[in-house]
Structure 1
Amino acid sequence: MTMMGVSGVLSRIQELQGQLGLNPLNPDGTTVAGTVTTTKGTTSSDSSFAAMLADATGGGSSLGAGGVSGDEVVASAKKYLGTPYAFGSTDPDKGLDCSALVQRAYGDLGIQVPRNSWQQAKAGQPVATLADAKPGDILAFDSPVDHVGIYLGNNQMIAAPKPGDHVKIQKVYETPTHIRRVISDVDQVAAQNLAAVRPAALQGSGTLAGVPYGDLFVKAGAKYGVSPKLLAAVAKVESGYNPQAVSKVGARGLMQLMPSTARGLGVNDAFDPEQAIFGGAKLLAHNLREFKSLPLALAAYNAGGGAVKKYGGIPPFAETQAYVPKVQKALASLGG
């Protein structure tokens, strides 16, 4: 056994915090539970992007409550390749630590796993040896557990290794002390059946053929867990896909972001299609997470989240009242 490095020490601190009852908080302020749950039937405040996607498409929770394959977990984790290591962070824009990467990869598919590495080492079902491991399984190291990663197969895993490093693919450098399978064999079979009926754009590999900037909508949707078709529908209503559009009140670009909103989203140039689309996706993801309703999320995009909260629903503004059904109609016309 190698000596515990800096990342091990930091993870050990997390473990002790958990044992003392000082559980870390979700972005919504709730404590992280020590059990594996799915979006289906949950009563907790769910921050997973899969929940947003379900709201955005009017779908149920099948993307996360079953029918998920280990390969999809791997693909979900690979979205974060290159993300800097940041201890304690669950926000990929700021960085991720090892257990946050694991939680995020599963959470994007609607499957919640505990926050800490030592808790993740108890999630799901045990796998006897690395030879029995499958892609998507959680690998945990050391005793007490101070590091986790996601198995890719062929003695490789994806992990956020340590401070100063980043999310990357690496060899399984030592025998894991725990191997856990959160995705059951039943889920794997269901995933094969669902793959044929899932809209391509929701699988992360689809395109919006004939839609201006379709590839950017797909990429932004994959990053933020929002339906690419929803993003395209918003852009169609907002600007008619015109990247140079400017409204009477000063909203700019494809996604019609106000300058102050754009700055808050990290968008330096709202007239740049890529920045605008990624900024709009980030804003919609936030709205969907907060309001858990497509109409309310769209209303917040148009009138602001404060107005939605103030009126307890779609604000009684003529523009907003008309805007929500317009986007829904545009979404339907795109097959969403």
Structure 2
Amino acid sequence: MTMGVDGVLARIQQLRSELGIASAPSTGPAAVTGDGSFAQALAGASGAGAAPARSASGGVTGPDVVAAAKKYLGVPYVFGGTDPSRGLDCSGLVQRAYADLGVHLPRLADQQATVGQPVASLADAQPGDILAFGSPVHHVGIYLGNNKMIAAPKPGDHVKIEKVYETPTHIRRIVNGLADAAAHAIGTPRPAALQSSAALAGVPYANLFVQAGSKYGVSPKLLAAVAKVESGYNPRAVSGAGAQGLMQLMPGTARGLGVTDAFDPAQAIDGGARLLARNLREFHSLPLAIAAYNAGGGAVHRYGGIPPFAETQAYVPKVQRALAELGG
């Protein structure tokens, strides 16, 4: 089956996102009025407008995120939309604004509500933070400050600035969490504050944890904590049950994750990050995601929580302690 032009462009965009390369939004012959100009948004995205201000050291800041999102004011809401020339939905807007700054986020709202670092309350929120609503999460927006956010609200509406109409169920700070990981992965200099927030100085394979964390939307600190508990950062480790490598993947699990050599640190960490990202999406809980890494997702579902296995019961707090030691 041949792939049309739109399909080719979509595939290029997907590959660029997977590699952590920011791509300019697609353009098209459209203009939408409202809280902003669709045509102006496209012009800015293609380079005709001014680039958002960056910090002196080149790191992504909250105001950068706000400026990137404001380029899409007036773009119509389209369910499932990721192309601003045709329309965006709420998570499509959030993903696009961050992607324009070189930060790759997961596609869906409930996934975006798990990345980065948690913020305790709206009073603690800063511009650029992701606000998520509902349980399960059904809507996201980008906080602007002063109890306002930019979002793509609903069908028949468009990207606009509005009041934060209810208390968010999740608030996530990306520029102090995932953003520094993505910046490191593509070689962008990071501010000293962001470097220290990663808390991976002196950790073996730190760059691989950062790269895989950015790719799959998982905290690099969590990946490092799992590796510490699983293997003590030993890429040649083999368990009595046959789990292999830095992330202690069983051969069958490794194959399912696309890992051909579990003793290769880069492949092992990539596979472990993919598995943890899947667990976090499935269970919406860090302890349950960790438990599923050890005992399998089926066991977590079967027991409705952390399985009553001595190994798993001890494993979850071990990983949580290791994560806390890394500042996670």
Q: Structure 2-normalised TM-score?
A: 0.50
2:90 and 2:229 map into 1 onto residues whose CA distance is: 42
1:29-80 deviations in Å (ceiling 9; x for gaps): xxxx955798xxxxxx9555432225xx555587xx86218xx9xxxxxxxx
Contact 1:221 1:228 in 2 (8 A): yes
**Residue from 122, 126, 130 that aligns with 2:158:** 122
1:297 and 1:253 map into 2 onto residues whose CA distance is: 20
**Residue from 254, 258, 275 that aligns with 1:283:** 275
How far does residue 113 in structure 1 lie from its aligned partner after superposition?
A: 7.1
Report whether the alignment pairs 1:330 with 2:322.
yes
1:194-220 deviations in Å (ceiling 9; x for gaps): 89xx64665324452100000100111
List gaps (5 residues or longer) in structure 2: 11-25, 27-77, 82-87, 95-106, 131-141, 143-148, 165-172, 185-194
1:267 and 1:120 map into 2 onto residues whose CA distance is: 44
Q: Which residue of 1 aligns with 2:233?
A: 241
Contact 2:295 2:307 in 1 (8 A): yes
Q: Which residue of 2 aligns with 1:257?
A: 249
Report whether the alignment pairs 1:67 with 2:67.
no
2:150 and 2:308 map into 1 onto residues whose CA distance is: 36
Go from structure 1 to structure 2 and tell me whether the alpha carbon gap of 1:59 and 1:314 turns closer, same or farther (over 3 Å shift): farther
1:277 and 1:289 map into 2 onto residues whose CA distance is: 18
1:58 and 1:311 map into 2 onto residues whose CA distance is: 27
Contact 2:178 2:217 in 1 (8 A): no
- Map 1:16-165 to 2 at 5 A: 47-53=109-115, 59=119, 67-68=127-128, 122-124=158-160
1:305-330 deviations in Å (ceiling 9; x for gaps): 11001111000000000000000000
How far does residue 222 in structure 1 lie from its aligned partner after superposition?
A: 0.7
| SS of residue paired to 2:263 | coil
Q: Which residue of 1 aligns with 2:134?
A: none
- Map 1:290-301 to 2 at 5 A: 290-301=282-293
Aligned length: 203
Identity across aligned pairs (percent)? 60
The one-letter code sitting in structure 1 at the alignment partner of 2:242 is G
1:226 and 1:122 map into 2 onto residues whose CA distance is: 30
Contact 2:90 2:109 in 1 (8 A): no
1:284 and 1:120 map into 2 onto residues whose CA distance is: 36
1:227 and 1:61 map into 2 onto residues whose CA distance is: 20
Contact 2:150 2:160 in 1 (8 A): no
1:321 and 1:277 map into 2 onto residues whose CA distance is: 23
| SS of residue paired to 2:238 | coil
List gaps (5 residues or longer) in structure 1: 12-21, 26-32, 39-44, 73-105, 126-181, 185-193
The one-letter code sitting in structure 2 at the alignment partner of 1:330 is A
How far does residue 6 in structure 1 lie from its aligned partner after superposition?
A: 4.0
1:242-285 deviations in Å (ceiling 9; x for gaps): 00101111111000011111111111111000000011001101
How far does residue 335 in structure 1 lie from its aligned partner after superposition?
A: 1.0
Task: Supply the RMSD in Å over aligned alpha carbons.
Answer: 4.7
1:112 and 1:269 map into 2 onto residues whose CA distance is: 44
Go from structure 1 to structure 2 and tell me whether the alpha carbon gap of 1:227 and 1:34 turns closer, same or farther (over 3 Å shift): closer
Report whether the alignment pairs 1:266 with 2:302.
no
Q: Structure 1-normalised TM-score?
A: 0.49
Go from structure 1 to structure 2 and tell me whether the alpha carbon gap of 1:59 and 1:251 turns closer, same or farther (over 3 Å shift): farther
2:294 and 2:150 map into 1 onto residues whose CA distance is: 31
Structure number with greater CO (CA < 8 Å, separation at least 6) is 1
